[in-house]
Chain A
Amino acid sequence: MIRKILMSGNEAMGEAAIAAGCKFYAGYPITPQNELTAYMATELPQRGGIFIQSESELAAISMVYGASASGVRSMTSSSSPGISLKQEGLSYIAGAQVPAVVINVMRAGPGLGNIWPAQSDYFQATKGGGHGDYRMIVLAPSSVQESYDLTRLGFHLADRYRIASMILSDGLLGQMMEGIETDDEARAPLKIDKPWALTGAQGRRPNIVQSLYIRRGDVEKHNIVLQKKYRLIASREVRFEGKFLDDAKLVVVAYGSMSRIAGAAVDELRKQGKKIGLFRPITLWPFPSKELEKVSKRVKKFLVVEMSYGQMVEDARLSVKCGAQVSFYGRGGGGVPTEKQIEREVLKFLNPKH
């Protein structure tokens, strides 16, 4: 049955988790994602799941590790300072190859920063914020509907690859209310066998969920297994959206809520007859490098716009062909680039003389 609901991005991610079969949530309050924790506290126990308000983020992520090790779908959520604390557990989740979904409703940093929206955790999310060589699948929604859809996808991908999926939202998207459509029957959660789960060694050899390998060669072998998995994901799971790429002379690159504002600026410039396109990565890891490279065969100017002082721009620069120029505009610390500012930056880059 298709249902239409008005909800905030935070609530939509909670609803998506439950619809995806999440049976365990642990979290510690932090603004601007508190609606999500409250949603799970109210809804999850009524719908067959377990909610725990943990004593810390360190405990929350370790609880998720334990629940996932038991074979159930589980999730935690937080905002930037809390996500920093979760890096410990994320590294263990990567090492032990247990699935998990982690939501980061990003706010401004560094330190306590403030509660206003930001995209300054891109490096932390995509380059491995914890210790060791590991990756997470990082999904960046740009609307409340997509917050719902990508959270559901995150659970599926986490189980499929035994990896952590991070949904990289921000304070703007988490707090914003929009209408969404859900169709739970059409998209029932896919059952994925978990023969590795800790369920008591009944009639089988014991299962061990571990990331420690005492013998030196074994750790290297384990890392090679992980790297092979990451390459497989990178080859299969890239997602992006392009707009006006066919005839664009300049392409704006933005993700998440920034891409909404950038998209409006692109539309306005098109109305003025300027051939501007939009490239929006949906998976931040794996980054749509080949796809952006393909665009750069024809387009020679890219403007990356972020609510940070330049993080994704590094991946864009690594992706494009030689000869293509990548410029950057960004504001941080809670500052949000406006349509007008983006239009101004586009025109400046398009016609350097003016």
Chain B
Amino acid sequence: MTKNYKRTESLYDVATHYCAGCGHGILHRIVAEAIDELGVREKTIAIAPVGCAVIAYDYWRLDCAEAAHGRALAVATAIKRVQPDKVVFTYQGDGDLAAIGTAETIHAANRGENLTVIFVNNAVYGMTGGQMAPTTLLSQKTATTPLGRDAKLAGYPLKISEMLALLDGVYSVERTSVSNPKEVFNTKRAIKQAFENQIQNKGFSMVEVLSMCPTYWDKTPVDAAKWIEDHMSQYFKLGKLK
């Protein structure tokens, strides 16, 4: 292994708008590195979500489409079907993928669309100001669960990766995190694998990444990373689900 201090080609040399300690910066870099290493930048098309990462195209040197909130996998389905030789991926948050876009997610997966999905789960809605996400933990306080999420009123944190793992159309689902360097490397491996699966026509691959939102968890970046390890990953177990 050689040391590489170059900028990733798939990433523009610009500062991001993300908050201190946010996981998106790490994940943008991981996705860009994977695309660079696979040599597919010039044939990759990204679908940006509605959420904090909506302007991901300001950071990735890639062809990119925005999608309506939740519809990223419908848009990706059509782009990939029309251009099966291209590498198509969605990058979606928990609200986009597991609340407003649940139907699009489940049906794209069930059809076995040959796509790569990066699912960023930070247990909260960042862009709109810290409201409850489908993945918000029980008793976690948010703008819309001021007393903490109560299962009787707001249900349980949604394990959509486990749900997708049950579907025959799905090739691979894995849950990782970016809470420490070891997990960052593991996430990089999983994401690169998810792209390789698509290149080898294996079908629908999703990586759910537990990611920090220090701002709306009301924590320091260090405490936010620790919260993933102490709480979030206790409920959302890391590992290969399928």
Contacts and interface: CB of A to CB of B under 8 A. Distances in A.
B188 to A, nearest CB: 23
A211 interface: yes
Given A59-B103, A63-B75, A66-B74, A202 B55 contact: no
A227 interface: no
A139 interface: no
Interface string A33-71: 000000000000000001010111011101111110110
Interface in B83-108: 83, 86, 103-104, 106-107
Interface string A261-292: 00000000000000000000000000000000
Contacts of A54: 74, 107
- Count chain B CB atoms within 10 A of each CB in A23, A54, A63, A64 and give the residue with the most: A63
Contacts of A96: 65-66
B82 A72 contact: yes
B55 A214 contact: yes
Given A200-B44, A202-B43, A206-B61, A69 B75 contact: yes
A62 B64 contact: no
A203 B65 CA distance: 19
B96 to A, nearest CB: 12
Nearest to A91: B68
A174 interface: no
A24 B82 contact: yes
Interface string B28-58: 0000000000000111110100000011010
Contact of B64 (A52, A74, A209): A209
A208 B81 contact: no
Contact of A200 (B47, B55, B86): B86
Contacts of B70: 58
Interface residues of A toward B: which range?
35 or more
B75 to A, nearest CB: 4
A207 B43 CA distance: 12
A63 B45 CA distance: 15
Contacts of A92: 66-68
Interface in B149-181: none
A187 B71 CA distance: 35
Given A54-B74, A212-B55, A23 B82 contact: yes
Interface in A11-33: 23-24, 26
A1 to B, nearest CB: 29
Interface in A61-100: 62-67, 69-70, 72, 74, 88-89, 92, 96
A198 B60 CA distance: 14
Contact of A206 (B64, B66, B74, B78): B64
B76 interface: yes
A89 B44 contact: no
Nearest to A72: B82
B78 A55 contact: no
Contacts of B86: 199-200
B48 to A, nearest CB: 8
Given A206-B57, A206-B64, A50 B82 contact: yes
A55 B107 contact: yes
Contacts of B66: 92, 96, 208-212
B34 to A, nearest CB: 16
Nearest to B55: A214
Nearest to A98: B65
Nearest to A211: B66
A70 B43 CA distance: 12
A72 B80 CA distance: 12
A50 B81 CA distance: 7
Given A26-B78, A209-B66, 17 more contacts: A52-B78, A54-B74, A62-B67, A62-B71, A62-B104, A66-B47, A67-B78, A67-B79, A69-B65, A74-B78, A88-B68, A89-B68, A89-B71, A198-B45, A200-B42, A200-B44, A201-B63
6 contacts: A63-B78, A66-B47, A66-B79, A92-B66, A206-B61, A209-B64
- Nearest 3 A/B pairs, CB to CB: A66-B78, A66-B75, A62-B71
Interface of B: 41-45, 47, 54-55, 57, 60-68, 70-71, 74-79, 81-83, 86, 103-104, 106-107
